Structures are given as structure tokens and as C-alpha cells.
Structure 1
Amino acid sequence: MHVFSTVIGVSLLMLAGQLQAAEAQPAVQAATEDKAEVLEQKAAEKVSLEAAPQATPLGKTEVQAVDPAGKAPMDDAITCLSRTIYWEAKGGASEDMEAVASVVLNRLGTEGFPDTVCEVVKQGSEKSPCQFSWWCDGRSDQVEEESRYTVAKEIARKALNQELPDSTHGALFFHDRSASLDWSKRYIKTKEIGSFIFYKPKNIAAR
């Protein structure tokens, strides 16, 4: 009887711990999303984190806790950036994914582009063409490959923390190497990385 009671007690403790963890998860996600919002504001203002002590860098586990299944609504900086990295470059190497993240951050706060990551990603959805085709191609935006999404989220974390070197040299546009697009002739090619070719307007200095 004593053994049975002990087993029941342990089971109840485990269940209570699981319930507390489940209740805490939304709070952790909300706090992480708030932290990411501060970071994207500093990125839009082109302010380094060294000059912004109130902007606390995102931790690895914090970022992975946001949109863990890749099915959440696109309404926070981490999810919007991670999904864009995933859908634009999930089939490529890490350098491809990092370069896509740099383009999003380069656009953030730049003249002609919005001041939040989600608005940058969704720009053009109200009128054709979309800036990022995956966002309005009519297909499901839910993640299909968990391992690649985990990589995308870690790259998003580094980008929002301003820890990601900009290998694109300030690019604001890119396209797949296999494509030949007329609009690219109006811009300066800054870099070729993996599957992509990157560009910037002629009146913006290289970084």
C-alpha cells in the first residue's frame, strides 16, 4: 500500500510539473516576442545593441520556444523572419539562409520599406507582386521540415541580435541564380552566394 501511494504521489507531482510548464510556455513566448520587438526596433533605427542597453539579446532556447511547430500566425518578428528564411532558402546551405536574413534586416527601416520584420515580409501582398513570393503563392505556410526550421530560427536569432555578418554587402534584393529578371538591371550586383544573386540600388553605399 505504501509503494502504491508513493507511485501515485510521484505521478501527481509529475502531472503538476507538466501543467505548470504548459501554463508557463505562453508567458515565455510572449516575453520572448516582446524582446524581439525591441531588437527589431533597434535594427530599424540602425542602432547597435551596444548603444541600446535596454535591448537584451535573444537566447537560443527562447527563440526555439516561439512557434515551435511552425504553424503559428505570422504576427511577431521571430516567426516572420524564421519562416522567410525557411521558405526562401530551406533547400540551400546555411550561408544561403543567412544571406536571406540579411536582406530582410537590411530592408528594415530603409527608405521605401517598413519598420517591422512582418511588414517587410508581407510588403506587396496588398498589390502584386509580393516582395517575398512564398508569402502570397497560395500555398500553405506551415513548416514541413522541422530540422531546417530549427536552423532557420537560430539564424533569425543571430540576425535580430545583430550578430550575423552581412555577407550580401547591404543587398536589398535577390533572386535565384536560375532566374533572369529585368528588374535586376536597374541595380548593382553586390554578391553571389549559394543559390542566389544579391543587389542594391545604385544610390546606396556598400556596407
Structure 2
Amino acid sequence: MAVSVAGDKEAEAVVFGLISRGYKLVASLEQEVTGRLATVRLIPPLTNDAGVIVDLLFASCGIEPEVVAAATNENIARGVTGPVATVGYLIAMKTLSERDTRNQDRQDLIDLIRASSPADLEVARAGAALKGRSIAEIFAHLHNVRIDWLKSGDPSLVGGLVKLEKSALSRQGLGTSPCGLRPRGGKTDRRGPRNRADQGLQAPSNGICRLHDRPRRLPSR
């Protein structure tokens, strides 16, 4: 669940408010680059639904405020509606977190692209670009995921499509391309935030997006 907050104090207030209502704190992660509280995992106070967890994303992918602002009200369950992230922003979030060792993120990304429209992909590119990713990087990444999707469905459709090698996706090379986008503030953010609440505390492998979190202890109350 993406949560839009102004900073860590607001995020901690949300967490402690839920704890006071019976939620149990399982883990909290800090984004190494920004020092922000990135992700908090909680267990809701349910007695008949074991295994349910709640992940609160405050600064995990770095575009949570935009995700929340663009959310649309949808039917979540019978008689229940609530704000749901759009397909475009879900693709952007997965693009910022997907890597070779996170197979579920890659499969989620493939499924989202399968259900996406051209407008959704434009939103995804704009959303990921907020974290300083060049448009060329995002196009290349989505291109490779599309090939994986085609191979899983009907390999004959791949035709002459070839994956873009990671060695060709250097930031220097892509930054000088005609469709390059300068990072915000003129500086390159080589490491963006990433959610690693689910057993993902090992060092990430090299990829298009380098993202790091570390365990964080919340202040006691």
C-alpha cells in the first residue's frame, strides 16, 4: 500500500497509529541514499485470516506521492471501494524495483504490460523518469520485458526482436542519446529506493536500476 507523507515523522505517526489499533510491527526498512523510512511491514489484528500482511510503502520506489495522487476509486471487494494505483504507475513502480533476482517483480511487470494501453506506458515512462531514469533506459527496459512476455506466450511472435544487452545500457551512453533525460537537479542518482521487506535483504545484483534499503529501528513510544 503506497502512502503519501511529507516525511518520516508523518510516516511514523501512521505506523504507531496502526500499532495502537492492534497491528503488529514485523519489519521496517530505511532507504540508504535518502535516509527515509522506506517500507514498514505489519500484521493486521485478524484472528481468522492467518498469513495476511500489510506493507506500507512510504519512500520505497520514490514516487509514492505521485502514485497516490493519480489513484482512482475502484471496487476492491463486494460493497467496498477504495483508491487503487493506476496501471501506468504500477508499471513505473515495478520498473524501479525489478531485477534479475526478483522473478515475481518481473512476472508482475510482464502481466501489467499485457494489460496496459499506450497511455499507460506513457504514464509509466514519465513516472520512472521522476527518479532520474533516462527515457532511453526506460524504453530499453520495457522492450526487454515485452520480449520476455512474447516468449512466454508465443515465441513465434518474437521474430527478429533482440534484447538490448545491459552492457549497452550505460548511463553515459544513454545520457547522450537524443531521447536522454537529465536527472533532476543535474545530478545522477545511481541508487534509488527499493522495497526489500520480503526476505530480500541480500545485496542487489547489478542491473538497470540500483536500489538499496537497510533495516531500520523505529523510535519507541
Under a length normalisation based on structure 1, what TM-score does the superposition of the two structures give? 0.25
Q: Highest relative contact order (Cα 8 Å, sep 6+), 1 or 2?
A: 2
Higher strand share: 2
In the superposition, the TM-score normalised over structure 2's length comes to: 0.24
